[in-house]
Structure 1
């Protein structure tokens, strides 16, 4: 790149950086489009709408309540992937949707039964089932209830016969205007029912009424027999949003119970405003420290890496806003992991450049070959994690899906940052005349360490740590009653609505109220949520006995002067439903299998894949053991933490395996033990620096964050340390053992193999 071109490229990069920074901080237009202040935040960070429904039916069964809760959960996720739905008492269901402030629209949609019926115009004796009311301009049932119509055979299909429903645009045959409609596709059984019903209606010149949520949404005349199992709901002047909502509701299915709304309110952030500002400050400090670290260690390329990282962060925050993603603590985990991978990619590249300079190449050739040789490790590490994110997004739900979305977005942007932006900046700086090798650093020869020879020591350490996990689980189960300290997200508990005499902030509640409640309940996982527009606070804790509830009454009266007659208690279920847990587990298993297959295909050796997956399981088990021993609450962030470790661990392992793969064909004859040791040593600096930079970000978050954020950051730090140890000390030795137990301990190259064949 010529000097003039380099100057232009750097000036343009600076302008883009400033514009992205302005967009990220201020945004554009009166609403601040693109600004990070407009990023949707979850209930834990910003609050939202809380709605409680009660079943109209007396004494609903557990199965009916569970099914209704599950379908409401599916509906709520139309508004936000981070919505929470849980059972309250025996016949109530509470829905909490982050970011929303207007409960009216949500109330109208969420509580709809979602019941769909296709009704014949006349029954078997010729009586009209529905008639047109000229005063209202709508069709109405002709005296019979839906139940009675089902009994006499007038209902030909129901929502259970619908396989899928999609919103689409269609031209009105009469007005020629484009209108929003919902196209239905029937099940195999429904297809036959629909064909029979349309055959009968067509022969008699009758219509079939489509009855949804106690009113007719369409009454089309049947002009032909419909045997392909498709139907269209049109009319009623539906706009696109209404058609989309209707299609989604029909796909999910009707509610098992009819519900009535008994309470709705706007609630504040569970963690308080300080949690958001603290996280932003911690993130900013962490990124500044990383940029300084890169500049000191890698000199000129480090400055380019820091610049590229800054652009990456700006793009990531703008993209979170542009894609309308909801950011929660699990989402922050995805962002942290993607930042770590962005830094890691730059570290891999610049470590390669140093190696090439150390090997005697010119700076220009070193830059070219450094990027080229680093590409495979960066690609494989990111694609492997991207596969996991895609599977999690497709199969999981709730906060796990939100994690997958933020992670996938971050991975794509991190690859762009490292392979495009960073490369442009380094080449531009070189083109400016900064060509001296001293600006780029030279890799110093590192004394090798016999990692493979010492493998028994490392394997023993790992075995001790792994055996300590079930041992600690047994001990904690006997002494604490449970191996893990499950939070409300997983096991439910008691919800206490307390009307205080003054308006407490979340920070004041943490300092003054939480210790009092914790003193009574002996529960360290208390959650408190303010109801906006009043002094009421909802306190969630473990399940309380009648005696403990009396103690809470007394504590509230003695310490805060609360009128105990206004305090209410309710049992609540977990917010992580059984279906959500099962979907997450299924997604993780499939993701691991997909990663194994990808590594196998890319490395053409099942032993690479097997070693990587075993190392991954090792890291997850150690972090799981940390949860057991530390008694940190196991909630929704637990899933995000484990998934973060999964992505980080596999990425670290692939870097070492990529170096082994690269060196194997080039060797004439070298002890395999020496080869593995050399490859680990060559990538040791990268392993240390990459882990250190990611650790710095999370450590700052741990030091500055509120208690719940510290509980989230601590396991991540353990996972990063464990991942670094495993990738350096375990994976290479594990591959060595798998490949060469009982076999020749030397690796012949292709040249040696060809020479042998020619003899």
Structure 2
């Protein structure tokens, strides 16, 4: 079989696979789990048995219920309502009774020996998670237990005294597990194995977590609530996605020609695979999740741009198209792998250490990274070689990169440092001013600060469109126009729940009067309660620690791969720069800081590291190909100059996707995409003007220190 026949078969095979994935993803799109904002879910309110629980008890209970609720959905929200109530919103669920049966009433958890003596209680357990191990090539499901400091001491004593016996884990007087003690266990960690299935391990682990509650709860009410945003949000987001993809494809075709066509076809497969894997991994999709997917579509072309730039360079150096394609993929491989593996490490850490929005974000990020690697390294390459074999041999069809004009970025670095420093300093000034004027450094949204939840029983069933146009404006007027709102309908009733910032007595009176006047409803059909933030203090700590550990792991990986800690240090400083620039805009423009803020910052970190690594990869290459003889300054300037087009093009395609989403998206999507656009610009600036020059300065500083030491 000749090359043309092979090329035709390869092309047909890739196209059929692309069509299959897209069709499969589309037909089963209804199986994708949707969050509360898109599809509604179950809302359950618990009340404490004790009349006056302490604030610490309520805070601990909210956090542990959040851990339990996440076994149903990573996007579940738990928040305090009033002084002794806790509300749990679980997206995608439709049967409140089923959820209540599975969730159960939180009760007592005890660890007891065979004689019934209580050895530990739920208070001694820090957390419990389901896991999987391989023992002698056999898969085993386990439960990993982590105890508090006091619990670790008790557990060590309990296992020491019960070697060869069973310890019974009892929840509400029912034995949920009875593992055999093989040896004394110290260190505050233990595992229970084997468990029949992963689902069983998850169920037991979540029961142990919820059993450690500091207060007892009883069910007060449960409702099935409708989507908080309605069908319009989904349709506009999908419309934005279609336009964004079309614009990115058009850009790729115009700039990269035949390679751009290959990338566009690969992008279709990317979308299809994304939908299929989201179904397979049961990812709960929220509106920010849609934004994240559209953003990842813009980022998916990054690897292709790196490859195509290399191909252009090879053709410009006089190589044949066939050799240029092969060499382009080979030379781009290290930068692509390093950039994606670094971000994948961050995603893994965020998934393990994070909770709620962070965990959901990490899942979507990891899926996007893996798919982009597959489509760039295999699909795009297969398409390019097929096109070449079918007659696309003219170098003009691939583009020819002219000799790089070396720009003196090192000479510009002090100006770049000054500009960035000035912006960041302004940010800190505004943070201090905000703290002084409002008591908070940021304009915290409901998710962080809590507010008021108002339940209104109307005389008729209002649509989300009617709520947005007729009800929400009354809340806006009552709060002076400076409060964000979240609205949801209670299925099967005429009740509407609207959350806003904490309202004063005067604002409530004004709101009640306007509701009664416009809808002729009595005051007894309007109930307002204060609620806590859905993002608890513990969740914030989890997110911060997850981010810090992720950055640390990225630093270690870059250090190992580039065999120089100066590369890693410059990378982390560039990432910190991008985050601080974004924070500055949040502070100066008073953008609302909610749960999406965490996902936004994580997206910026994951995005900007790729561009920095591409430049560092070129610096590493220049250090080994003889360019070092021209001086270190030339090495850095040439590396940045040769990749600056790639940095601009990648940032532009990503910016296009996000900008289209901003134009067509609903208000909550705009709140998410606006900071992302700032982060994209900041990431492009830091990669080109900050990261490389920082590495240069670190090297010079290191040399000076060595010289000073040698003189001594």
- Same fold per TM (> 0.5)? yes
Residues 216, 589 of structure 1: alpha-carbon distance in 2 compared, 3 angstrom cutoff: closer
2:193, 2:308 → 1: CA distance? 59
Aligned residue runs from structure 1 range 594-743, under 5 A: 594-667=553-626, 669-741=629-701
Q: Offset at 1:718?
A: 0.9
Does the CA contact (< 8 Å) of 1:114 and 1:249 recur in 2?
A: no
Give the match for residue 99 of structure 2.
106
Does the CA contact (< 8 Å) of 1:72 and 1:110 recur in 2?
A: no
More displaced 10-residue stretch of structure 1: 447-456 or 625-634: 447-456
Give the match for residue 155 of structure 2.
190
Does the CA contact (< 8 Å) of 2:176 and 2:204 recur in 1?
A: no
Give the match for residue 440 of structure 1.
398
Give the match for residue 419 of structure 2.
461
Query: What secondary structure sits across from 1:45 in the alignment?
Result: helix
Give the match for residue 214 of structure 2.
256
Q: Offset at 1:559?
A: 2.3
Does the CA contact (< 8 Å) of 2:125 and 2:212 recur in 1?
A: no
1:616, 1:156 → 2: CA distance? 48
More displaced 10-residue stretch of structure 1: 519-528 or 104-113: 104-113
Give the match for residue 545 of structure 1.
504
Query: What secondary structure sits across from 2:586 in the alignment?
Result: helix
Residues 677, 197 of structure 1: alpha-carbon distance in 2 compared, 3 angstrom cutoff: closer
Aligned residue runs from structure 1 range 153-302, under 5 A: 154-155=117-118, 158-159=121-122, 189-190=154-155, 192-193=157-158, 196=161, 211-215=170-174, 241=199, 244-251=202-209, 253-302=211-260
Q: Offset at 1:601?
A: 1.4
Does the CA contact (< 8 Å) of 2:478 and 2:507 recur in 1?
A: yes
Q: Offset at 1:168?
A: 11
Does the CA contact (< 8 Å) of 2:237 and 2:290 recur in 1?
A: no
Residues 119, 375 of structure 1: alpha-carbon distance in 2 compared, 3 angstrom cutoff: closer
Give the match for residue 64 of structure 1.
57
1:697, 1:46 → 2: CA distance? 24
Query: What secondary structure sits across from 2:38 in the alignment?
Result: coil
Give the match for residue 500 of structure 1.
458
1:641, 1:576 → 2: CA distance? 15
Does the CA contact (< 8 Å) of 1:217 and 1:233 recur in 2?
A: no
Q: Deviations over 1:681-727 (max 9, x none)?
A: 11111011100100010011000001111111111011111111111
More displaced 10-residue stretch of structure 1: 183-192 or 436-445: 183-192
Uncovered stretches (5+) of structure 2, i.e. residues with no partner: 133-140, 705-712
Residues 388, 561 of structure 1: alpha-carbon distance in 2 compared, 3 angstrom cutoff: same
Give the match for residue 751 of structure 1.
none
Give the match for residue 14 of structure 2.
13
Query: What secondary structure sits across from 2:410 in the alignment?
Result: coil
Aligned residue runs from structure 1 range 194-593, under 5 A: 196=161, 211-215=170-174, 241=199, 244-251=202-209, 253-480=211-438, 482-522=440-480, 523-593=482-552
Q: Offset at 1:189?
A: 3.1
Residue among 65, 82, 88 paired with 2:75:
82
Q: What's the C-alpha RMSD, in Å, of the aligned pairs?
A: 3.0
Q: Deviations over 1:632-667 (max 9, x none)?
A: 210010000001111111111111111111111212
Does the CA contact (< 8 Å) of 2:123 and 2:213 recur in 1?
A: no
1:680, 1:661 → 2: CA distance? 12
Does the CA contact (< 8 Å) of 1:45 and 1:272 recur in 2?
A: yes
Q: Offset at 1:482?
A: 3.5
Query: What secondary structure sits across from 2:44 in the alignment?
Result: strand
Does the CA contact (< 8 Å) of 1:377 and 1:658 recur in 2?
A: yes
Aligned residue runs from structure 1 range 736-751, under 5 A: 736-741=696-701
Q: Deviations over 1:222-265 (max 9, x none)?
A: xx997657999999xx9985664134312554322221111111
More helix by share: 2
Does the CA contact (< 8 Å) of 2:106 and 2:210 recur in 1?
A: no
1:164, 1:743 → 2: CA distance? 49
More displaced 10-residue stretch of structure 1: 672-681 or 565-574: 672-681
1:655, 1:673 → 2: CA distance? 18
Q: Offset at 1:400?
A: 0.4
Q: Deviations over 1:405-454 (max 9, x none)?
A: 11011101111110111111111111112111121111134543322212
Query: What secondary structure sits across from 2:499 in the alignment?
Result: strand
Query: What secondary structure sits across from 1:50 in the alignment?
Result: strand
Residues 537, 458 of structure 1: alpha-carbon distance in 2 compared, 3 angstrom cutoff: same
Uncovered stretches (5+) of structure 1, i.e. residues with no partner: 27-34, 123-128, 130-153, 170-179, 745-759
1:725, 1:234 → 2: CA distance? 52
Query: What secondary structure sits across from 2:580 in the alignment?
Result: helix
- Greater Rg over alpha carbons, structure: 1
Residues 280, 608 of structure 1: alpha-carbon distance in 2 compared, 3 angstrom cutoff: same
Residues 160, 729 of structure 1: alpha-carbon distance in 2 compared, 3 angstrom cutoff: closer
1:184, 1:706 → 2: CA distance? 43
Residues 498, 312 of structure 1: alpha-carbon distance in 2 compared, 3 angstrom cutoff: same
Residues 451, 503 of structure 1: alpha-carbon distance in 2 compared, 3 angstrom cutoff: same
Aligned residue runs from structure 1 range 124-143, under 5 A: none
Instruction: Give TM-score scaled by structure 1 length.
Output: 0.84
Does the CA contact (< 8 Å) of 2:41 and 2:91 recur in 1?
A: yes
Give the match for residue 140 of structure 1.
none
More displaced 10-residue stretch of structure 1: 397-406 or 37-46: 37-46
Q: Offset at 1:736?
A: 1.9
More displaced 10-residue stretch of structure 1: 185-194 or 657-666: 185-194
Residues 215, 358 of structure 1: alpha-carbon distance in 2 compared, 3 angstrom cutoff: closer
2:143, 2:377 → 1: CA distance? 44
1:717, 1:118 → 2: CA distance? 52
Does the CA contact (< 8 Å) of 1:458 and 1:730 recur in 2?
A: yes
User: How many correspondences in the alignment?
Assistant: 686
Does the CA contact (< 8 Å) of 1:384 and 1:598 recur in 2?
A: yes
Q: Offset at 1:56?
A: 1.6
Residues 3, 472 of structure 1: alpha-carbon distance in 2 compared, 3 angstrom cutoff: same
Q: Deviations over 1:109-136 (max 9, x none)?
A: 32433423466788xxxxxx9xxxxxxx
Residues 163, 36 of structure 1: alpha-carbon distance in 2 compared, 3 angstrom cutoff: same
1:83, 1:444 → 2: CA distance? 53
Residues 659, 273 of structure 1: alpha-carbon distance in 2 compared, 3 angstrom cutoff: same
2:192, 2:353 → 1: CA distance? 29
Q: Deviations over 1:491-515 (max 9, x none)?
A: 1111111112332222332222222
